[in-house]
Copies of this chain bind each other. A is one copy, B any other.
Amino acid sequence: MKQKLKERLDVFSDAIIAILITIMVLELPVEIHGQSVHYVQLFHAVGIYLVSFCFIANLWYQHAVIFNEAKTVPNQIVVLDLSFLFLMSLMPTFTRLMTEATTQVTVLMYGGLSLVISLLFRRIAKTIIHEKYTDKKDMRKVYNVIYGASYLESGLLYLAIMVVGYFWPRVALVLYIIMPIRS
């Protein structure tokens, strides 16, 4: 019974993430004036879509790997996972906000949301791994699969970009875009 609940949570979160990743396509602007299309605007939007796609696809992958470690999900994990999905579903809106009006406030808000999602995911990963493994070496191995080598850095990086964004919002925008593409 417990295992079935875990499988349903998997399907449920995969479905939500798949929907989130595709509804962003609906927001691509296709403006046609007579026979000429507004290409600059379109490719700018495709670029932003690519960034959000990479960010969410990356989270989906890490999420799938970590939940494969778990056989059952205690109530605490269910609540954490649903909160994670809620925050993730705000991602498209915040990305659009930042790119349409690149100001101090929007850049800090986007950075803050990324950081909170990132921290929440780490707590989920930690809870699942600590329940399963007792040996420190095994834990590290799983972490490596999920984050690659750059485990600790990325949290610090988000903080660093937020500091940058406070002074130069446009520089932070470019840095945000580079981060998920690299991984």
> How many of A's residues come within 8 Å of B, CB to CB?
51
Q: Which residues of B contact A17 (CB under 8 A)?
A: 12
CB distance A93 to B30 under 8 Å? yes
Contact check, B14 vs A22: say whether CB atoms are below 8 A apart.
no
User: 16 more A-B contacts (CB under 8 A) besides A30-B93, A30-B100?
Assistant: A4-B68, A5-B68, A8-B14, A12-B14, A12-B17, A16-B22, A19-B22, A21-B89, A25-B92, A25-B93, A26-B26, A28-B93, A32-B101, A37-B97, A57-B82, A57-B86
Contacts of A9 in B (CB 8 A): 64
Known: A69-B1, A82-B57, A90-B46. A103 touches B35 (CB 8 A): yes
Docked CA distance A9–B18 (Å): 11
Question: Residue-by-residue, is A26-40 near B (CB-CB < 8 Å gives 1, otherwise 0)?
Answer: 101010100111010
Contact partner, A37, options B5, B32, B86, B101, Cβ 8 Å:
B101
